[in-house]
Structure 1
Amino acid sequence: MIEITTKEGWRDHVNTVHERPAPITLQELRTMSFGDRALYNQGRAQYSQAGAFVRTPQFEAFQRAVRDRVMLNAYRRVGKLGLILSGEPGQGKTTSLVEIGKAHERRRREVGHPAAGRGKIPVVYVAVPAQCSAKALMHEFARFLGLPVLHRMTYGDLLEVVANALRRCSTELVLIDDVHHLDLKYRQNIEASDMLKQLSERCGGTFVYAGIAVEGTGLLDGQRGGQIGKRFEVHVAVPFPLDSTEEKARWGDLLLAMENSLCLADQRPGSILSAAVTLHALTGGEIGLLKDLLQFAALRAIEDGTETLDLKVFEHDLRRRQTAAALRPETPRQSRKRVIAR
């Protein structure tokens, strides 16, 4: 498994490309030798899990916003602009953050940009540990960059070393994941939040945060939050709705892209659309839950040799869930709500 919180791991992640296996018929798959079929299945699993990425309208809007700010911040001395990707678990925030960083670095390499030259680090990825102090967060930056950290080094020393390294390495994009761990009810987290602002002003990179319900952490509240709120645009990752015709079309596009990524030999393209409403009810429109649900179903189809999604299983799962919900005892709060509604 590639660890992307070090520059070596991140570089391996950017370099790794999982190509889609060549499509074959069910008959061709069945005539393969055991070893060849095992290799083909491994290639399908790698592509489905790590190679395929579905570009949703939400992702594309966020990626455009990142590109705009990278361009503008390159010419700003102070008041750099940033972005925050917020949302509940299962909305693909980390996946989106990492994909944006990977796409940015690959784009820089392809055009021969100086930021991707020898000894440069165009993208830095850091995950915020729980209950993180400013010094501990500086250690995470130093760990990614491979900087030696001495015990006698103060917070100020670390800030200076990290900021200098980011400038020398021409870092353009600083991705900070799990920023919800910076809950400002705790003093050490306030210090860490202030440190990020200082670091942003002292290096040329565009800072992009991602976390769970960031709006409720206090990061955007008060005097400190006022500055962040003015300079950082908040994008909220939400489940796919299914109300309007346009929203149903977007959900259908997502299902078609997911279906294609599974690489099943006997899956008729577009057949998944007949289960669109069922799949939305099962997942609540959450892309993470949908991906897991379909990949487990694809695994069963590969193992039993059918090589096609059993859509009836989804309907059965939904009926079973609905029955269980109907038999579940009412909580006192639900009972009071029902009485009030009368």
Structure 2
Amino acid sequence: MTAPHDPLAPFADGPREPERHLTSLSGWRSFVDDQPVIPVMLSAAERAALSPAELIRYDEGRLDHHTWLLVVATSTVQHTVTCGRRLALLNRHAVSARRGLIVSGPAGTGKTTAITQLGRAHELIDRARHPGVSDRIPVVYITVPPAATARMVAVEFARFLGLPVRVRSNITDILETVCGVLTDARVGQVLVDELHNISLTTRSGAEVSDTLKYFSERIPATFVYAGINVERAGLFDGTRGEQIAGRFTLVPTAPLPYNTEWQGLVATLEDSLRLHDHKAGSLTALDRYLHDRTDGMIGSLSHLIRGAALDAILTGSEKITKSGLNAIPLDHSSESS
């Protein structure tokens, strides 16, 4: 559910700024708990009656609203959540050879959104099943650092949990501590993002893969990976790759084609706008242009529309037009396609 926000109420510490780092336990819990706040729109007469300070607060609330990424339940998100929930149930009583999920595709096609929404759904269900229990950690989310080593990945798990890691701590000690804490905390899902940073053709990459496999064998949870075109990067090659391929279901992501889903996505984003002079339907009338401009990339579409909305407030035009959209630079991939 969304909650209306008093347009003149001051923010406690400026606009909403909860802990947003998903790779920490507090940040993840903040993400799960977050409820979007929809600013109340004032009439022209009500805005005219505002003091300068009140008008600044009112506009700041709308600016803040448009900086937040609206999560839309695309077919990719829905499919990922369905597959992930199914695997979690199938793994519930498994003592070995638990199955996992890999979400793979080009950059900007919603992989991180899909797995984090899966994790959020799992945590909310776990909380509902165990009300009032505060010592559970249903979900862990980490990212694989560039040029990662096995120790670096183990430290990412420890950092998420807030466990102290000394310079002299060896990887065995870190692994044992992390596995012990997560087992006691009844973790159910482990989300590992940026999997493309692992290369099985290098020694360090192979060791990282072995470390993740060790975690999956020691921790009774469903492991969910996400990365850019990982199946093309040799993830399923060799003995290690065969083991991964034999245990993980692959969910591919891709740019959205121009179809009813794309049109519905544009309409949903337009409905979220809080602009005073924007004519309803004027953005959906540009859905073909938006598809051509973004090449069907969800991330690029969100960036484009939110950027144009911010400009509309900052310039006072209060509406999104094609010329305003043309003024928003996109990522190199979209601009060069």
Question: What's the TM-score, normalizing by structure 2?
Answer: 0.85
- Aligned residue in 2 for 1:233: 249
Contact 1:278 1:314 in 2 (8 A): no
Contact 1:133 1:189 in 2 (8 A): yes
SS of equivalent residue, structure 2 residue 274: coil
Deviation (angstroms), 1:166: 1.1
Change over 3 Å in CA distance of 1:315–1:2 after alignment to 2: closer
Is 1:146–2:157 an aligned residue pair?
Answer: no
CA distance in 2, matches of 1:129, 1:96: 20
CA distance in 1, matches of 2:129, 2:49: 45
CA distance in 2, matches of 1:33, 1:62: 48
- Aligned residue in 2 for 1:280: 291
SS of equivalent residue, structure 2 residue 251: strand
- Aligned residue in 1 for 2:75: 57
Is 1:297–2:314 an aligned residue pair?
Answer: no
- Greater Cα offset, 188-197 or 157-166: 157-166
Task: Pick one of 8, 18, 22 that aligns with 1:4.
Answer: 22
Aligned partner letter, 1:74: R
Task: Pick one of 158, 166, 174 that aligns with 2:174.
Answer: 158
Contact 2:77 2:117 in 1 (8 A): no
Deviation (angstroms), 1:92: 2.4
Aligned partner letter, 1:36: E
CA distance in 2, matches of 1:220, 1:233: 12
CA distance in 2, matches of 1:31, 1:305: 17
Percent identity over the alignment is 37
Task: Note the residue ranges of structure 1 that are not aligned, 5 or more in a row.
Answer: 243-247, 319-323, 326-342
Is 1:35–2:53 an aligned residue pair?
Answer: yes
SS of equivalent residue, structure 1 residue 20: strand
Contact 2:77 2:113 in 1 (8 A): no
Task: Note the residue ranges of structure 2 that are not aligned, 5 or more in a row.
Answer: 1-18, 330-334
Between Structure 1 and Structure 2, whose CA radius of gyration is higher? 1
Contact 1:18 1:46 in 2 (8 A): no
Measured on the aligned residues, the alpha-carbon RMSD in Å equals: 2.5
Is 1:199–2:210 an aligned residue pair?
Answer: no
- Aligned residue in 2 for 1:271: 282
Change over 3 Å in CA distance of 1:213–1:161 after alignment to 2: same
CA distance in 2, matches of 1:92, 1:188: 28
CA distance in 1, matches of 2:90, 2:42: 47
- Aligned residue in 2 for 1:134: 150
Aligned partner letter, 1:126: I
Change over 3 Å in CA distance of 1:113–1:269 after alignment to 2: farther
Structure with the higher helix share, 1 or 2: 1
Contact 1:79 1:231 in 2 (8 A): yes
- Aligned residue in 2 for 1:113: 130
Count of residue pairs the alignment pairs up: 314
Change over 3 Å in CA distance of 1:78–1:266 after alignment to 2: same
SS of equivalent residue, structure 1 residue 271: coil
Deviation (angstroms), 1:57: 1.2
Q: What are the residue-to-residue correspondences of 1:207-218 with 2, within 5 Å?
A: 207-218=223-234
For residues 263-294 of structure 1, what are the alpha-carbon distances to aligned partners after superposition, in whole Å with 9 as ceiling and x for unaligned?
A: 22232332212111111111101011111111
SS of equivalent residue, structure 1 residue 126: strand
- Aligned residue in 2 for 1:220: 236
- Aligned residue in 2 for 1:99: 117
- Aligned residue in 1 for 2:184: 168
CA distance in 2, matches of 1:30, 1:87: 49
Question: What's the TM-score, normalizing by structure 1?
Answer: 0.84
Is 1:306–2:317 an aligned residue pair?
Answer: yes
CA distance in 1, matches of 2:115, 2:41: 30
Change over 3 Å in CA distance of 1:298–1:150 after alignment to 2: closer
CA distance in 2, matches of 1:171, 1:66: 15
Change over 3 Å in CA distance of 1:198–1:280 after alignment to 2: same
- Aligned residue in 2 for 1:124: 140
Aligned partner letter, 2:322: L
